[in-house]
Amino acid sequence: MRAVLITEPGQYGLETLPDPTPDVGDVIVAPDGCGICGTDLHIIAGEVPFTRYPIVPGHEFSGEIVAAGRGVDHVRVGDVVAVEPSLFCGHCPPCRTGRENLCLNFDSIGVGQQNGACAELVRVPGHKAFALPDAMRRGLGTLVEPVSCVVHGFDMLETRLGDNILIYGAGSIGLILAQIAVHHGAGSVSVVDTNAERLPRALKAGADQVATNADELDRPQGWEAVIDATGAVAAIEDAISRASHGGTVLLFGVAPDNVQARFSPFQVYNKELRIIGSMAIRHSFERALLLMARGVIDGDLLLTHRFKLDAYDEALETFRRGGGLKLTVVP
Ligand SMILES: [Zn+2]
Ligand SMILES: [Zn+2]
């Protein structure tokens, strides 16, 4: 099979690899497409501590099952599935207390030790493959992974009906957050992005107000929920200052692991703020599928570019330039 192979940080290209075969419990998926996200850039830069090279990248994918090993009975050859890429050990303390996404031995298809979906074929554990609901367009399958991360984010956020929600970042995650916030019964949804060119998309995603700076939004009482989808320290510091009394700040974007942010501990005390994080997916993959089958996510708004496997480099360059929202590699 043809596959993108990252042999070591900074080194990657199209290679011919042996076709994977299914072990007991595995299925082989022929990906329809595979989304690109910031994690892929971190893998290529050698910045993901648990990546084992060489690795085929690609963790946001769906496709058709073309082979199944013994012991797989909930999906079968011919099914079109989306695949939850996170892999958990099942025996560490977080796993044993139901917080598998925080597994001390966390691994992820296309990120850690298992080859991913920027390839004509990918082997995955059968129990990580979820058949797409009939009502869901096959072409949206690559979005299930990021949508399920957002669903977990909302689990962590515990918003109430009518809460006013402020989102930093109008990239693909910011727009998924905005669409789910609207569906979730937000009183209002506001989106801030320093790049004004991105703001019209946020309006299309259902935002009531958009701005390049939260000062323009004129809400001195603050927001009940503030979500950072940028990972940028300046945005995070601003986000914490915008929460209302009793408000919650969700850090969803991935900040570099060596940076520090400043906030006022007095404000956290005096306003009883909650500052929380959200990491990957937890029991949220099937719910993401149901939301997508109901049309909660506008795939046409998000899926802006498609690249062939041999144009992986061009796809990464386009992503680095900030061109488009969700870029898809089509094996
Ligand atoms: Zn991703
Ligand atoms: Zn574990």
CATH number of domain containing 93: 3.90.180.10
Name the pLDDT band for 218 (thresholds 50, 70, 90). Answer: confident
Query: How confident is the prediction for the chain on average, in pLDDT?
Result: 96
Q: How confident is the model at residue 28 (pLDDT cuts 50, 70, 90)?
A: very high
Q: How many domains does the chain have?
A: 2
Whether residues 186 and 97 share a domain: the answer is: no
Query: Are the beta carbons of 254 and 229 closer than 8 angstroms?
Result: no
Q: For 39-62, what is the mean pLDDT?
A: 95
Contacts of residue 220, Cβ cutoff 8 Å, sequence gap at least 6: none
Asked if the structure places residue 19 within a domain, the reply is yes
Does residue 102 sit in the same domain as residue 201? no
Asked, for residue 161, whether it belongs to a domain, the answer is yes
Note the pLDDT tens digit of each residue in 185-215: 999 999 999 999 999 999 999 999 999 999 9
pTM for the structure as a whole:
0.96
Residues 75 and 108 in one domain: yes
Whether residues 217 and 304 share a domain: the answer is no
Q: Kindly state whether residues 13 and 81 are assigned to the same domain.
A: yes
Buried b (16+ CB within 10 A) or exposed e, 106-123: bbbbbbbebbbbbbbbbb
Dig out the tokens for 12 from the structure. 């990657």
What does the alpha-carbon distance between residue 36 and residue 311 come to, in Å, rounded to a whole number? Answer: 13
Do residues 83 and 44 both lie within one domain?
yes
Kindly give the distance from the C-alpha atom of residue 87 to the centroid of ligand 2, in angstroms, as a whole number: 9
Mean pLDDT of 257-270: 96
Q: Do residue 159 and residue 123 come from a single domain?
A: no
- What pLDDT, on a 0 to 100 scale, did the predictor assign at position 323? 75
Ligand nearest to the CA of 59: 1
Is residue 119 located within the same domain as residue 7?
yes
Range of the domain at 98: 2-131+298-330
Q: Which ligand is nearest to the CA of 280?
A: 1
Whether 316 is covered by a domain: the verdict is: yes
CATH code of the domain in which 231 resides: 3.40.50.720
Q: Say how many Å lie between the CA of residue 210 and the centre of ligand 1.
A: 25
| Spacing, Cα 301 to ligand 1 middle (Å) | 18
